[in-house]
Amino acid sequence: MAHLISASILNADFSNLKKEIEMINTSETDWFHLDIMDGVFVPNISFGFPIVEQVKKYGSKPLDVHLMIADPDKYIERFKEAGADVLTVHYETCVHLHRTVQSIKSLGMKAGIALNPHTPVSVLEDIIQDVDMVLIMTVNPGYGGQKFIENSYQKITRLTKMIKEKGASTLIQVDGGVDLLNTRKLVDTGVNVLVVGSFIFRSNNPLDIVTKLKKA
């Protein structure tokens, strides 16, 4: 399959959010990526349900919601109501991960698991076949615009091997420091979905950047 681009609105201009959403609607972007941060699991606070609902209202593409929060189980149903199509939780925050994944899927959403840079992919061996997507954090979660962690390529390679050996159809997503310099290498290593934020929204021509990322 061709790689997908998930535009992270964390880097959008929130004073003109509707305009930014409409811009992404007209681009070759595949998903909207929404980072939900609580200031507990990560050292930052982003936004909550009202923003998710606004993106759902004005957006014409699936909502890829990434929960960087403590105790995500409390909010699974609420994010479904807000419009999430894909809901990703962190391995590091889930005591009963399999139960969490099943709860997400029972509501009709795709279930993703995110791994922080220090967390090995081996922790997913017994659940990989039940998961729709694994998000490899290629920066430390919490802030946009960080430098890509080079060791991530080896991690992606190990995950790609695991997915093949298990006969799973799990997608691999990366988030952090993605640009035109590393897109092709990431895709060649096995990445299916690229989360891109500041590189799109801070460019002079976001539509052109998205087209180049899709063709890379």
Residues with a catalytic annotation lie at 35, 175
Asked if residues 31 and 133 have their Cβ atoms less than 8 Å apart, the reply is no
SS3 helix, strand, coil % of the chain, rounded to 5? 45, 20, 35
Rounded to a whole number, what is the distance in angstroms from the first to the last CA of the chain? 14
Alpha helices in 32-122 (DSSP H): 49-58, 76-82, 97-106
- Contacts (Cβ under 8 Å, ≥6 apart) of 70: 38, 40, 41, 93
List Cα–Cα distances, 127 to 50, 123, 133, 156, in angstroms.
Answer: 32, 8, 11, 17
Taking the C-alpha atoms of residue 188 and residue 27, their distance in angstroms, rounded to an integer, is 23
Pairing mode of beta strands 110-115, 4-8: unpaired
Residue 136 has phi, psi (to 5 degrees) of -90, 115
